[in-house]
Amino acid sequence: GAVVSQHPSRVICKSGTSVKIECRSLDFQATTMFWYRQFPKKSLMLMATSNEGSKATYEQGVEKDKFLINHASLTLSTLTVTSAHPEDSSFYICSARGSGGTDTQYFGPGTRLTVL
């Protein structure tokens, strides 16, 4: 149980285009999903917290107009990187927390974004 998927696993795009990444909880309902960014050989940095049906809460320094987050259902959250630039190239990982007040976060496999 507690499986989280992400799609796509890898994406290469041209500078200036937008890329959408999907995060799904496959066998549980996720009231809250989180988006993290991880640079090579570095730690995970929280970008935003997304609750189903409400606006995402962004961490300080994260541009909400650049990283659009939608959490339309209890099993799906999307991150759209708008007008991507090479500095947006990174590993984006989502996590999902189940209902019932549990603390445990289950991570997706990540999406490797490369912007040319």
Partner 1 sequence: GENVEQHPSTLSVQEGDSAVIKCTYSDSASNYFPWYKQELGKRPQLIIDIRSNVGEKKDQRIAVTLNKTAKHFSLHITETQPEDSAVYFCAASTSSADGLTFGKGTHLIIQP
Interface with partner 1, residue 34, by CB under 8 A: yes
Contacting residue, 59, 64, 72, 83, with partner 1 by CB under 8 A: 59
Interface with partner 1, residue 36, by CB under 8 A: yes
Beta bridge partners of 97: 32, 105
Residue 86: what are its φ and ψ, rounded to 5°?
-50, -30
Interface with partner 1, residue 15, by CB under 8 A: no
Beta strand pairing call for 90-98 and 111-115: antiparallel
CB of 33 to partner 1, least distance (A): 10
How many CA atoms lie within 13 Å of 99's alpha carbon, on the beta-carbon side? 8
Residues of the shown chain interacting with partner 1 in the complex, contacts defined by CB under 8 A: 32, 34, 36, 42-46, 48-49, 59-60, 93, 95, 97, 101-110
